[in-house]
Amino acid sequence: MGLGTKIRMSRLFSNPSGHLFGGAVDHFVGYGNVREGGLADLPGALARVMAGGPDYISIQPGAARHLWPAYAGKAALVIQAGCFTPDDRIRQLIATPEDAVRYGADALAVAIPVRGSTEGDYIRWLTDTVNAAARYEMPVVAHVYPRDYSNGGKIVFTPDEIAYAVRIGFETGVDVIKVGYTGDFDSFRETVATCPVPIVIAGGPKTDTLLGALTQTSDALRAGAKGAVVGRNLWGHGDTTKAARAFKLVIHSGMVPQEALEAAGA
């Protein structure tokens, strides 16, 4: 790892806790209807997440161009390059490491699904991006989502599939891996223990309550995860800013979920 990568990685993991709390506002085409849900008002969603004090924001390049100037220097910027729909109707890389440099980003994220007939193409996304990013000392954060094609391509979180997703991440050479939490402490701890790069958990699977989301985050941290990058479980549960503060207390202060909820007023 060169000096530039080390410096950028230190910005991602800048908190004294050694953990990372990221907000994901980078879903773009994957959700379809942009008039509903927590990202219907994208500028407002970003403002509410930022008010909660995240360490970094993951966002699509076009949205960053329009929205990020107001927040520059207040958190690390991660540009999301992966763009796909569950049925693979859309599957494109929409940003390069050079783009991330031009945007002043601290890392480039690449979201990919795995399993199915298009898996090889997505793995190529990652390997090509890692190789191109090396020229710029740009860290690559892989968001890896296993899919069940017997169930319409639904994302799954079983221990075997999450272990497979993590293996793809580090064997393609990425610097950070984001995967969903399995819900099984022992299996997740085993997967983390055999991975040579930091693992952070995704906000999914979507939970019914904010307490449930905080609990799975707390469990993942105890199992060795280095933080969380949260989307739906952040802006999908009531007051986004209070939810962000609660996540921050769990991730950086080690507070138990119920106490974090109360302290954040959530």
* Catalytic hit among 106, 145, 175, 181: 145
Does the active-site annotation cover 56?
no
Quote the distance between the C-alpha of residue 12 and its chain's center. Answer: 12
Does the active-site annotation cover 26?
yes
The domain tally of the chain equals 1
Report the pLDDT value the prediction gives residue 32, as an integer from 0 to 100.
Answer: 65
* Catalytic hit among 55, 56, 106, 178: 178
249 closest CA partner among 262, 236, 235? 262
Report the pLDDT value the prediction gives residue 31, as an integer from 0 to 100.
Answer: 66
77 closest CA partner among 104, 45, 112? 104
> Which residue ranges in the chain fall short of pLDDT 50?
none
Amino acid at 108: L
pLDDT tens digit sequence for 40-50? 899 999 999 99
What CATH number does residue 177 fall under?
A: 3.20.20.70
Handedness of CA 234, 155, 118, 122 (dihedral sign): positive
Given the structure tokens 């094609």, which residue do they identify? 149
Does the active-site annotation cover 145?
yes
Range of the domain at 58: 3-264
